[in-house]
Amino acid sequence: MSERERSHWAWGYTDAFPDEPGREALAAQVGALLGREVSLRPLPTLESARLSDPRVLPPVSLAPISSAAPKDRILHTYGKGYRDLVRAYRGDFSVAPDWVSFPRSEEDIEQLLAHCAVEGIAVIPYGGGTSVVGGIEASVGDRPRGVVSLDLRRLDRVLEIEPVSRSARIQAGATGPVLEEQLAPHGLTLRHFPQSFEFSTLGGWIATRAGGHFATLYTHIDDLVSSIRMITPAGTWASRRLPASGAGPNPDRLALGSEGILGVITEAWVRLQARPRYRASASVTFPRFADGVRACRMLAQSGLYPSNCRLLDRTDALLGGVFVDGEAVLLLAFESADHPLGPSMDRALVITAEAGGICPEGPVFREERGEGARAQATYKQSFFRAPYLQSALVSLGVLADTFETACTWDRFEALDAAVHEAVLPALQRALGGGVLARRFTHVYPDGPAPYYTFIGPARDGHELETWAAIKDAASHAILASGGTITHHHAVGRVHRPYFRAERPEPFEAALRAAKRAVDPAGIMNPGALFEPDER
């Protein structure tokens, strides 16, 4: 269990939140960006948090693993999306769960589910609490008599490492750093680095089909999972550990993305990789964003499989502190534990040049034996720092959020135009202005995963409505242009109405029926993915 204190309202550790000089510098920076004065607001205290008394309490049998203490309930009320930050900043914890359980074993989980099924109490599996889509929020409809947050933090061990197949059996509550630390002595890595890496967990990644940092090939956790154990109210769902199979629909693929509605994921066998030895990187700039898009498409279809292929537009580069002499910059990288990367990088730079890109500094090649780990850590620190800044912006009265999608290459130009046509006027109407930045986080042979950031001055007291209007405009633009409502942020409760427009209708019927089969009392995270059943 972590000893550093987590903020009750903001992203991450309390001691890592920007201090006063840090917030002042951020205020100056974002004020310049938005062309208006931005000033510091006081930070909320835990004491000012408001929540109701629990409606139900844990039975004596569950007391050793349960807590109804206000602080635990508060810490398990929200994820870390913009609307979560705003509500928590305001001290509004009215949707807090009634209690929190910290099971130590699958038996504890079985006992908890059995109690809740009999009593009609909803159960929300909780990993790192980093959902940005309301996936762990106790908005469960009017049927349950209460809500328990089931925190998996005590199940955080790497149980087995099997080096021949480069696989490990890992408990669902292990966070990124905790599992990587246990793998490192074996020279192995899961190599799955979502931006929430520091806090999010293996079980959470599986439940939400999380996307990692790497741009091609094994982008989602889906591809790294070789078997899953999940405790459902109807029994244990344990798949066979296999490299591949063709026997019926893949059971793991039904657990992947199930967002807690079928059961509690307790562990998984995952595919590891040797730690990279060779690295190559380059920055390529383009006169027009469309040229960068074309380069990304050609790279994605080349069979070269870069580990990084991150295209930033000028605004996004500015926000990220990346210098760009042009309208777009492509951060390109290759990694291998096996072979030098000269041929791959050389060919990639020929491709980007054909698309009009220039790489004035040339590529950088590194061969690492141990000491390289430090450089990587520095890079990661800045990547993992971004969510702290979003929380700090909320404390400055600035609205800042991201949304992301994936679409086929032929549809990207129209989708991008539709997003701009929807979001910029929405920002103007609601806030009198703001900025919209874009990047590709992942690229596939048949399409990119575009990722947008919007920032504007929030109107005090109206943050949630303003945000909802912009989010809705963006979501409709994406869906109408053939994109998906999310490439790697899951559905939860926020994306539910848009997911409804995207999924095949009989598939919803099939999934609801599957849920009823393994969760007849309807206690597992009701309200995630689709509307909860009515009373």
Q: In whole angstroms, how close is the CB of 308 to its own copies at the nearest point?
A: 15
Name which of 323 and 507 has its Cβ closer to its own copies. Answer: 507
Residue type, 165: S
For residue 367, the cross-strand partners are 278
Which alpha helices (H) appear in 190-257, and where do they start and end? 202-208, 251-255
- How far, in Å, CA of 325 to CA of 415, rounded? 25
The least distance separating its own copies from the CB of residue 160, rounded to whole angstroms, comes to 11
Nearer to its own copies, 397 or 497 (CB): 497
CB of 71 to its own copies, least distance (A): 32
Please, which residue, 60 or 247, has the CB nearer to its own copies?
247
211 bridge partner residues: 220
Backbone dihedral region for residue 243 (phi beyond 0: left; psi -120 to 50: alpha; all else: beta): alpha
Phi first, then psi: give them for residue 46, nearest 5 degrees. Answer: -60, -35
- 121 phi and psi, to 5 degrees? -105, 130
Picking from 35, 7, 75, 42, the residue whose alpha carbon sits closest to that of residue 387 is: 7
Minimum Å distance from CB 47 to its own copies? 37
Residue 204 C-beta: closest distance to its own copies, Å: 12
Cα–Cα distances in angstroms (integers) from residue 60 to residues 63, 77, 111, 112, in the given order: 5, 23, 12, 12
Q: 264: which DSSP letter?
A: E
User: Shortest distance, CB of residue 337 to its own copies, whole angstroms?
Assistant: 7
Query: Which of 238, 358 has the CB closer to its own copies?
Result: 238
CB of 357 to its own copies, least distance (A): 17
- As a whole number of Å, the end-to-end CA separation of the chain is 38
Q: Which residues are bridge partners to 169 per DSSP? A: 160, 269
- Whichever of 8 and 297 has its CB closer to its own copies, that residue is 297
Q: In this complex, which beta carbon is closest to its own copies, that of residue 74 or of residue 485?
A: 485
Closest approach of its own copies to the CB of residue 408, in Å: 4
Q: Which is nearer to its own copies, 384 or 409 (CB)?
A: 409
**Which residue do the tokens 């109210």 mark?**
233
Nearest CA-CA partner of 391 in 7, 51, 97, 96? 7
The nearest distance, CB 403 to its own copies, in angstroms, is: 13
* Closest distance of CB 50 from its own copies, Å: 33
* CB of residue 64 to its own copies, shortest distance in Å: 27
- Give the shortest CB-66-to-its own copies separation in angstroms: 25
Nearer to its own copies among residue 135 and residue 456 (C-beta): 135
Nearer Cβ to its own copies (57/234)? 234
Nearer to its own copies, 222 or 472 (CB): 222
Give the distance, in angstroms, between the CA of residue 15 and the centroid of all CA atoms in the same chain.
22
State the DSSP code for 309. E
Residue among 221 and 400 whose Cβ is closer to its own copies: 221
Phi-psi region for residue 461, left (φ > 0), alpha (ψ -120 to 50) or beta?
A: left
DSSP states of 417-481: HHHHHHHHHHHHHHHS--EEEEEEEEEETTEEEEEEEEEEEPPTT-HHHHHHHHHHHHHHHHHHT
| Cβ atoms 259, 275 nearer than 8 A | no
Measured CA to CA, the distance from residue 228 to residue 225 in angstroms comes to: 7
Tokens of 252: 């793991």
Angle, CA of 316, 322 and 323, to the nearest 5°: 110
Given the complex with its own copies, which of 98 and 404 has the nearer CB atom?
404
Cα dihedral 105, 220, 195, 328, rounded to 10, equals 180
